[in-house]
Amino acid sequence: MQQPAWNNLTPDFRRQVATRNCLELAKLTPKVVTYQVPNKQLAVDWDHVILLKYCAGAGPQRHGTTIIWNAYAGFTRTDVTPRTLIDRVERSSPVTWLDMQAYTDVSGGRGPLSYVLGQLQLIPIENKKTHYSWLNGRYLQTVNPYNLSKSGKQSLILLTTTNEILIQDSAKRLNEKWDIANKIRRIQQMNKEYNNELYGSHYLATVQVPADLRKFQIRIQTLLVAYVEKHLPVNWTATERDKIVDAARHNQPWPLDETGPAERTERVDI
């Protein structure tokens, strides 16, 4: 029985990957994918996306293309970059890129940012001139270094689908990104459980905010203030920024000595 994960590949390339049950990402190009869907007609099954492979463009597709690997439908290519596809999810979901920066900060991670929305854990891999391919951490089972004698870093990844994938990226880096994505997912789960308890309780004072969730809530507000600060003729210290965040969270008057950019200290009705 043929695995649906290898659907929509040219016969020769499908035989290559099926024989080893391993996909070498460097050899996955638009030429070996037989199924194409135009960007405006594309509907992505995000629940079962394993990989978004970025392919540099040329000619009319100079901005690049994406190969989508789906656990049940196989491969599809389309005429936009992976980041464009992820941005569509971000703009239609409650989790923004600013949220992801805050989640990453409180989880001890660094850039480039992953995008985590529940079980969807898109981790950037293989940087190609500011463009990345993206692996879904949901499908990762093990990540190990491969071919250490060669120059460059490679990782052999065993997926929960029992397929393997060989990528040109560091196993150490990918494992760190995977670990941070799992931490972010746990904070998101805390948020869900906290809200369920909060809005289902008759005694709100007894509902405690988990420590990591509290850190995230404060961090996202600090990042918002820092973003605004970049575009104002001011230079607040970290202590002043914390005071502003705390005042804003509790809808209090402007906390610094000066009256602030808007020359107002009254409470704002929201």
- CA–CA distance, 74 with 236 (Å, rounded to integer): 51
Inform me whether the pLDDT recorded for 201 exceeds 60: yes
Inform me whether the pLDDT recorded for 94 exceeds 70.
yes
Tens digits of per-residue pLDDT, 110-140? 989 999 999 999 999 998 777 899 999 999 9
184 exposed, middle or buried (CB, 10 Å; 0-12, 13-18, 19+)?
A: buried
- pLDDT per residue over 43-85, tens digit each? 999 999 999 999 987 655 567 899 999 999 999 999 999 999 9
For residues 157-181, give the mean pLDDT: 95
Q: What is the full DSSP assignment across the chain?
A: ---GGGTTB-HHHHHHHHHHTEEEGGG--GGGB--B--GGG----GGGEEEEEEE---GGGTT-EEEEEETTTEEEEESS-HHHHHHHHHHHSS--HHHHHHHHHHTT--SSPPEEETTEEEEEEEEETTEEEEEEGGGEEEEEE--TTSSS--EEEEETTS-EEEESS-HHHHHHHHHHHHHHHHHHHHHHHHHHHHHH-S-GGG-PPPHHHHHHHHHHHHHHHHHHHHTSS----HHHHHHHHHHHHTTPPP-SSS-TTTT--S----
Place of tokens 């995977």: 178
Beta bridge partners of 74: 70
Mean pLDDT score across all residues of the chain:
85
Of 192, 250, 193, give the one whose Cα is nearest residue 218. 250
Strands 164-167, 22-24: pairing is parallel
Q: Which of 91-95, 151-155, 206-210 has the highest mean pLDDT?
A: 91-95
Q: Which residues, at least 6 apart from 30, have a Cβ–Cβ distance to it below 8 Å?
A: 55, 65, 67, 77
Q: Is the pLDDT of residue 12 over 50?
A: yes
What per-residue confidence (pLDDT) applies to 209?
Answer: 77
* pLDDT of 263 over the 50 cut: no
